[in-house]
Amino acid sequence: GFPSESPPATAPMTIFYNGVVTVFNVPSDK
């Protein structure tokens, strides 16, 4: 599940999944 507050797409997204921290580097230009 995702937290109530969604982080800005401009910043790298840190998702906690199954106790594992997965960092997705999402560039501003998509």
Residues of the chain with pLDDT under 50: none
pLDDT on residue 6: 59
Please tell me the total count of domains within the chain. 1
- Long-range contacts, 9-13 (Cβ 8 Å, 24+): none
Global model pTM greater than 0.75: no
pLDDT on residue 4: 60
Domain of residue 5, residue span:
1-29
pLDDT on residue 21: 66
How far apart, in Å, are the Cα atoms of 26 and each of 8, 21, 23?
A: 10, 15, 9
